[in-house]
Amino acid sequence: MAGTINKLIALLALSYYQCQCQCIEVKDEYYPRYHLAPPYGWMNDPNGFSKFRNEYHLFYQHNPYSSQQPGNVHWGHAKSKDLVHWEHLPIALFPDQWYDKNGVFSGSALVDNDTMYLYYTSNLDHPGQTPDHEQHQALATSTDGLHFKKYEQNPIIAGADLQPNIRDPKVWEHNNKFYMVLGHSINGTDGEALLFTSDDKIQWTQASTLLQSNGSLGFMFECPDFFELNGKFVLLFSPQGIKAEGDKYNNLYQTGYVVGDFDYATNVFTPLTEFKELDHGHDFYATQTIDDHGKRVMVAWMDMWDNVYPERADGFAGLMTVPRVLTLDRNLNIVQKPIRQRAHRHHALHQPGPPHAALELPDKTAEISIRAQKDSVVDVVIAQKEATDEDYTSVRIHFDPVNGTVTLDRRGADSIRRTQWRPEGRYLTWKILVDASSVELFCGSGEVTFSSRFFPRGKVTVSTDTSIRRHSSVRISPVQRTVPEPNSQQQCSAY
Ligand code: FRU
C-alpha cells in the first residue's frame, strides 16, 4: 500500500514537474555555449560520472523548479559521446521516498555487467530538532541508462553512529571487490574520509579511515574521491572549514588533494604530501573523476556555495568545468589538461603574432593560447565591451615574472585570486577558455589552474597588453556551441 501511494505521489510530482518546467525561459546572456549547465533551474555537484555502453553519463545535483536555491535536490542527467557535445536527458532521480524526500544528495556510479548502479546520499530533514537532519546511503539501478529503479531495501547504509553528516559515496571496483569512500564529520568538528568495502555491492562494512582532519583540514569532508594515478593514490575531496591563509584557501570551501600510498591488503592510506588546493579560481568545487581506459578524467562544479550570481534571474544557476585529464608529476602535483573543445582554429580571430588591442568575440567564446618568453609581463583582459563599473564584468589575468605570480582579478568584491607559478621551460604558455560567464586558465602543462565565473553583458572583448616579444604568439579562436541552446527543442525535451 505504502509503495503504491509513493508511486502515485511520484507520478503526480512528475506531471506537476513536467508542466512547471516545460520550456521555462532561460536567457542566453550568461548561458554557456560549450559547458554543461542545467536546462533550467539549479545545478551543483557533478554526480554519477560514468561510461555506460560507450557513452559518458554525467548526473548532477539539480533543482528543476527554481534557479534560486537547491531545494530538495534531484539528479539531473546528461550524456555525451566525446565529453565535448552534450545532450540533456530526463531527470534520473527524484526525492520521492521517505528516506530521500529532502534531497537525493551527491554520489557516484558503478557500471557492472551491463547494469548501472547509482549510489547516493538520501537526506532527511528534521526541522526544529537536534540534529536537524540525517543522511543514509542508497542505491538505484538501470539497465538502459535512462530509467532508474531505487533498491527496495534502501537505505543500504544507515550508519546510526555516523549521523548526521555522512555523505557523498564514491564507489569503485578492484579485483572483484567493491570500495566506497564517504565524507564524514566527527561531531561537527573534524572531517574525515571513511572507506567501506563490499563483496556484493549491497552489504557494506566500514574498513578504515583514509584521512582525518585532526584540527587542520576543517569540520567536514565533502565529495571524497580516491584513485590511483601514476603509481600513487590520490584522495581528492572538498573540505569545509579551512581558514584562509594569505593567497591560500580564499573561497568559502576548498577542493584539494593528498597524495600517498595505499595498500589494498590492509586498506591503509599513507599520505606522502600535505593537502594542496587543486585550483586557484573563485568557482571550483565538489570534483568527481572517472577512469576512462586508464585516463583519469575530472569535472568540477564551476560555482561556489554562497556566491549569488546574476544568472539566477535568467533561469539557471551553476555549470560544470570542461572535463580535464589528470596526471601526477614527479613532485606529486596534479596536472590538469582540458579535453579539447571545438575551437574554430581555421577561423582564428587572431593568428600567432605580436599582441593586439581589443578584439571582439563573435559569441562570447574563445580559446586563447599564449606563448611568451618567460621573463615577459603578460596581461590578458577579457571584458564587457560596453563600459561599466558593475562587479564581475571583466577579468584580468596577469603574470609577474619578477615575483613569479599569476593573478586573476575579476573586479568587484573579493575579486583577486593569486598563486605562485613559474614557467618550467624557456616560455610561458597559457591556455584560456572563455565561455559567456566563465573563464578557465591552464598555466604551462596544467600544473596551475584558475576557474572563475564573471558576468559580462552584451559583447565581450579580449586584449593582450604584454611585453611579449620575439618568438611569442597569441592565438584567439572562437569555440563552437556543443551544448543545447537554451529554450531549444532539444533542451526542452529533457523535461
Ligand atoms: C557539496 C554538497 C554535498 C551534498 C550536496 C547536496 O556541494 O554539499 O556534500 O551531497 O552538495 O546538494
Average pLDDT over every residue of 322-341: 97
Q: Is 100 in the pocket of ligand 1 (CB under 6 A)?
A: no
**Beta strands 41-52 and 316-317, pairing class:** parallel
Q: Whose CA is nearest to atom 8 of ligand 1?
A: 222
According to CATH, where is 2.115.10.20 located in the chain? Answer: 2-335
pLDDT over 80 at 171, yes or no: yes
pLDDT over 90 at 329, yes or no: yes
Domain at 2-335: CATH code: 2.115.10.20
Judge if the upstream peptide bond of residue 155 is cis by omega within 30 degrees of 0. yes
* CATH architecture, range 345-477: Sandwich (2.60)
The pLDDT value given to residue 45:
98
200 counts as catalytic: no
- Residues sharing a CB contact under 8 Å with residue 46, sequence separation 6 or more, in sequence order: 58, 59, 60, 286, 287, 288, 299, 300, 301, 320
Q: Is 61 in the pocket of ligand 1 (CB under 6 A)?
A: yes
Q: Single out the catalytic residue among 28, 45, 291, 292.
A: 45
Q: Is 73 in the pocket of ligand 1 (CB under 6 A)?
A: yes
pTM for the predicted model, two decimal places: 0.94
Name the residue of 102, 105, 124, 284 to mutate for ligand 1: max ligand atoms within 8 A of Cβ: 105
Average pLDDT over every residue of 103-129: 97
Q: Whose CA is nearest to atom 9 of ligand 1?
A: 222
Average pLDDT over every residue of 162-182: 98
pLDDT in tens, 146-155: 999 999 999 9
Among 13-22, 199-208, 378-387, the range scoring the smallest mean pLDDT is: 13-22
Question: Angle at the Cα of 68 (from 411 to 491), degrees rounded to 5?
Answer: 100
The pLDDT value given to residue 19:
37
The pLDDT value given to residue 168:
98
Q: Is 286 in the pocket of ligand 1 (CB under 6 A)?
A: yes
CA pair distance 143, 193, nearest whole angstrom: 30
pLDDT over 80 at 432, yes or no: yes
Question: Which run of H or E residues covers position 186?
Answer: strand 177-186
CA pair distance 93, 147, nearest whole angstrom: 9
Average pLDDT, the chain: 92
More confident residue, 464 or 78: 78
C-alpha of residue 251 to centroid of ligand 1, in Å: 16
Q: Which atom of ligand 1 is nearest to the CA of 305?
A: 7
Among 112-126, 415-429, 459-473, the range scoring the smallest mean pLDDT is: 459-473
C-alpha of residue 299 to centroid of ligand 1, in Å: 15
* pLDDT band (50, 70, 90) for residue 469: low
Q: Is 70 in the pocket of ligand 1 (CB under 6 A)?
A: yes
Percent of the chain with pLDDT over 90: 85
CA pair distance 416, 424, nearest whole angstrom: 24
pLDDT over 50 at 478, yes or no: yes
In 3D space, the residue among 388, 384, 370, 377 whose CA is nearest the CA of residue 476 turns out to be 370
pLDDT in tens, 266-325: 999 999 999 999 999 999 999 999 999 999 999 999 999 999 999 999 999 999 999 999
pLDDT over 60 at 14, yes or no: no
Q: Is 44 in the pocket of ligand 1 (CB under 6 A)?
A: yes
What radius of gyration, in Å, describes the C-alpha atoms of the chain? 22
According to CATH, where is 2.60.120.560 located in the chain? Answer: 345-477
